[in-house]
Structure 1
Amino acid sequence: MAEPQPPRAARIAAYALFFLLGVAVSVCGSFVQALWPPVGVLLALAATAATFYAGLRVTGTRLGAGAPAAGWFLAMLLLMVPRPEGDNVLWSNATSLAWLFAGSVLGVICATLPTRTSWFPGVPGPPR
């Protein structure tokens, strides 16, 4: 009844790739959201949601959305720590907090979506 999943080795490679992609999206998004305050947060969140959703659809498992989310959270933890010189990447302002909160909500949403259905929720899949 369900579509076959990709081979195990391909899924493991995809998990590692999406973990690293989650780290990259987190680092880039942290700078983009600070660079263009109102639009940068939306752009960074769109890239984050696309990464999490792509991980879910490419691997066909919820771990596929969890791997980039784990990389995203790990990078966020490292970016939130102030440096000894007093430099911060993420400040305690509205855009940084929106980036942190909305990104984590997107990770949870994508990790709880159905795994092997059509590409868009609510759209019926192709006939079998």
Structure 2
Amino acid sequence: MSGDRSPLMAQPLRPPSAARFAALLGLCLLGAVVGAAGALVQPAWFPGGLLLALAGEAGLCLGAARALRSRAGAAAAAVGWVLAVVLLTTSRPEGDFLFAAGAGSYLFLLGGIAVAVICTTLAPGRQPDGDPVRLAK
């Protein structure tokens, strides 16, 4: 390397700024809202509602990654979605529950987790500033 700049991976980690932390928290809350809305929509119109709920989650995760220009945005939205959906799967002492034991509910849970992992993995990672060349040169 030229010595004037250290590689991106060699730089120490810094805590996120207050604005970035607020954005991540907001995306986590938005993920929870999308998860709760998807839990209500997917059993209403079975094939279409399921696809709509999963497409909404994918759009949120990819949009969050583009907005923050890192995978952290997609991960924050995915964490909010998973937390909301997992909390909605528990039954209450009265016996009430939101998810029935059917194929649609399982497809929503497992498909949503798969969509969250795929969107977080495929989101653009952090790129160094400067020339758009390979780092090994």
Could you state the TM-score of these two structures normalised by the residue count of structure 1? Answer: 0.80
Q: Does the 8 Å contact 2:89/2:98 carry over to 1?
A: yes
Bigger mean CA offset, 42-51 vs 83-92: 83-92
Q: What is aligned with 2:97?
A: 88
Q: Deviations over 1:2-39 (max 9, x none)?
A: xxxxx944322221111001000000100000111111
Residue from 74, 78, 81 that aligns with 1:65: 74
Q: Deviations over 1:45-99 (max 9, x none)?
A: 1111011111111111111111011111111111010111111101221111111
Runs in 1 of length 4+ with deviation above 6 angstroms?
A: none
Bigger mean CA offset, 15-24 vs 84-93: 84-93
Q: What is aligned with 1:20?
A: 29
Q: Does the 8 Å contact 1:45/1:103 carry over to 2?
A: yes
1:43 corresponds to 2:58: no
Return closer, same or farther for 1:114/1:69 CA change in 2, 3 Å cut-off: closer
Return closer, same or farther for 1:77/1:114 CA change in 2, 3 Å cut-off: closer
Bigger mean CA offset, 83-92 vs 24-33: 83-92
Q: What is aligned with 2:11?
A: none
1:74 corresponds to 2:76: no
Task: Give the AA of the match of 1:101.
Answer: L
Q: Alignment length, in residue pairs?
A: 112
Tell me by how many angstroms 1:116 deviates: 5.7
Q: Deviations over 1:104-124 (max 9, x none)?
A: 11111111114269xxxxxxx
Instruction: Report which of the two structures shows the higher radius of gyration computed on alpha carbons.
Output: 2
Superposition RMSD on alpha carbons, in Å?
1.9
Query: Once the two structures are aligned, what percentage of the paired residues are identical?
Result: 43
Q: What is aligned with 1:53?
A: 62
Q: Does the 8 Å contact 1:57/1:116 carry over to 2?
A: no
Q: Which runs of 5+ in 2 are unaligned?
A: 1-15, 127-137
Could you state the TM-score of these two structures normalised by the residue count of structure 2? Answer: 0.75
Task: Give the AA of the match of 1:60.
Answer: R
